[in-house]
Amino acid sequence: MQMPTLWAQLGSIMGSLMFLSAILKSFPPFSLIRGYLRVYTNRLTSRLSPYVRISISEYSGDCRAFSAIQTYLSDNSSRLANRLKDNFLRNTQNPLVLTMDDNEEISDEFHGINIWWVSVVKSHEMFLNLTFPKRHRDLITSQYLSHVIEEGKAIAARNRKIKLYTNLPGRGSNGLTSIDWKHVLFEHPASFDTLALRPEKKEEIVKDLVKFKNGKDYYAKMGKPLKRGYLLYGPPGTGKSTMIAAMANFLNYDIYDLELTSVENNMMFRKLLIGIESKSIMVIEDIDCSLNFTEKRKEKKEKKPEEEDEDDDYRKVTLSGLLNFIDGIWSALGGERIIVFTTNYVDKMDPALIRSGRMDKHIELSYCCYEGFKVLAKNYLDVESHHLFGRIDRLLKETEMTPADVVENLMPKSMEDDNESCLKRLIEALELVKEARSRKQEEEEKKEEDEGNRKDLSAEEEEGEETRNLMTLH
């Protein structure tokens, strides 16, 4: 529905009066008259008009509310507006967002009341002008506007695409190494449904995440910052990275994959940490290796003290720097943040880093269990029961195979591969692993036995020697 024409015409009369006043502007004695003219024409139109116009500026008030209104209108504009403006938010990796063109009009309806929105740009400032019948002023200002803001926020949350950030080193304008987050859209299909894990463990993790996500009030009451730390540990190929992807998809959080080895000093580190937005998961993979690297660099430097800067200790990324960050800076920033460390060697971890309170939850990812296999069979073969499942269950109990290896054997390799042949291939692989394992066990037992025999033999020899010595003494 178009804005009422009578009032549009009145608007054009006003425009003419404004034009007249602009001409008068060039004559200084008339500038006063011009001012009065504007005030009175505005008053006259607003008195006579049965409509009210509210103007919302992008710079006044709550900018989040403004952007929520924009989102709401953008969503509606794809249906309602005649002309659309393609607007790539920030950069081209973001999805195409359609927004209102300048001076584009959009009509909306609320409880049967017609409302018109117009976007106007004046001196680089954007305004969203809202026109509605005067008699509904209370309803529009109290209910409609909050409805638009809430709806806009909900649309933004629904359309939010997860991003994967990585810290890539580059050269700053001063020629020095600089480091910043670069992102791509994150389109990993992993979810807790497709994760091969014991159901009770899966449930426990999901519950923990839900509690965190809904825990804003609880954390505020406790005076705790809204952050949670997880340590994922287990052999390669057991799903640590896959679980991070599942967590991000579940929470709809961005991932910040921090490559610690390319962070040269604590200043850079701080800069990166401050650049991490709320609703995010910061990941440091293979934390044992990352920290070893920095420790080694420290050792190397310590050998040449003459080369060290005065504040060198401050500049290096150290374990204590990392821990300080976890305890301090980030908490002060507010927002909802999760930190995940992964390692293949939990025993090698510095106890200070993993002591309780630092990482809230330690999650072990281990070899594939039968329940995990069933999830993988459903994911990759779309099969939920099969006469070979029983044999696979027994073999998985007798031997150890990572979910990654199960996937590798289970995946169809050609068009001729059917469920039976895929499952048989997995059985063969499991039997090979089992055989290799029992051979290794036998070899170890034999080695132990040989060592035992050798020890007995040398003990006997020693005993014989002692007896001979005693005999010569006598």
Ligand X SMILES: Nc1ncnc2c1ncn2[C@@H]1O[C@H](COP(=O)(O)OP(=O)(O)OP(=O)(O)O)[C@@H](O)[C@H]1O
Which residue's entry shows tokens 């007995």?
456
DSSP-derived secondary structure for 394-461: HHHHHS---HHHHHHHHS--STT--HHHHHHHHHHHHHHHHHHHHHHHHHHHHHHHHHHHHHHHHHHH
Q: Which is nearer to ligand X, 239 or 321 (CB)?
A: 239
Q: Is 339 in the site for ligand X (CB under 6 A)?
A: no
Per CB under 6 A, the segment of 200-208, 235-243, 314-322, 449-457 that binds ligand X is: 235-243
Backbone angles phi, psi at 225, to 5 degrees: -70, 150
Q: Of 197, 363, 377, 423, which one interacts with ligand X (CB under 6 A)?
A: 197
Per CB under 6 A, the segment of 12-20, 108-116, 149-157, 400-408 that binds ligand X is: 400-408
Q: Quick one: CA dihedral 232, 237, 242, 243, positive or negative?
A: negative
Kindly state the helix (H) or strand (E) to which residue 290 belongs, with its residue range: helix 287-302
Kindly state the helix (H) or strand (E) to which residue 197 belongs, with its residue range: none
CB 131 within 8 A of CB 140: no
According to CB under 6 A, which residues from 80 to 99 bind ligand X?
none
238 binds, among ligand X, Mg ion, none (CB under 5 to 8 A by kind): ligand X
Residue 100 has, within 13 A of its CA and on its CB side, a CA count of 27
Q: Is 343 in the site for Mg ion (CB under 5 A)?
A: no
Per CB under 6 A, the segment of 14-22, 140-148, 189-197, 428-436 that binds ligand X is: 189-197
Identify residue 439 by its one-letter amino acid code: R
Nearest approach in angstroms of CB 241 to ligand X is: 3
Q: Of 21, 241, 290, 318, which one interacts with Mg ion (CB under 5 A)?
A: 241
Q: Is 195 in the site for ligand X (CB under 6 A)?
A: yes
344 binds, among Mg ion, ligand X, none (CB under 5 to 8 A by kind): ligand X
CB 426 within 8 A of CB 392: yes
Per CB under 6 A, the segment of 163-171, 236-244, 264-272, 386-394 that binds ligand X is: 236-244
Q: Of 71, 238, 290, 399, which one interacts with ligand X (CB under 6 A)?
A: 238
Of 382, 386, 384, 396, which Cα lies nearest the Cα of 427? 396
Q: Which is nearer to Mg ion, 119 or 241 (CB)?
A: 241
Q: Is 344 in the site for ligand X (CB under 6 A)?
A: yes
Q: Is 196 in the site for ligand X (CB under 6 A)?
A: yes
Q: Is 422 in the site for ligand X (CB under 6 A)?
A: no
Of 56, 449, 403, which Cα lies nearest the Cα of 197? 403
Per CB under 5 A, the segment of 167-175, 176-184, 236-244, 311-319 that binds Mg ion is: 236-244
Identify residue 52 by its one-letter amino acid code: V
280 binds, among Mg ion, ligand X, none (CB under 5 to 8 A by kind): none
Q: Which is nearer to ligand X, 183 or 240 (CB)?
A: 240
Strand partners, 125: 122
Q: Is 404 in the site for ligand X (CB under 6 A)?
A: yes
Instruction: Pull the structure tokens for residue 187.
Output: 């389109």
Per CB under 6 A, the segment of 44-52, 81-89, 238-246, 429-437 that binds ligand X is: 238-246
CB 402 within 8 A of CB 367: yes
Which pairs from 210-213 meet CB under 8 Å and 24+ separation?
A: 212/336, 212/338, 213/251, 213/336
Secondary structure class of 83 (helix, strand, coil): coil
Q: Is 240 in the site for ligand X (CB under 6 A)?
A: yes
Q: Is 238 in the site for Mg ion (CB under 5 A)?
A: no
Give the residues lining the site for ligand X (CB under 6 A).
195-197, 236-242, 344, 365, 403-404, 407
Give the residues lining the site for Mg ion (CB under 5 A).
240-241
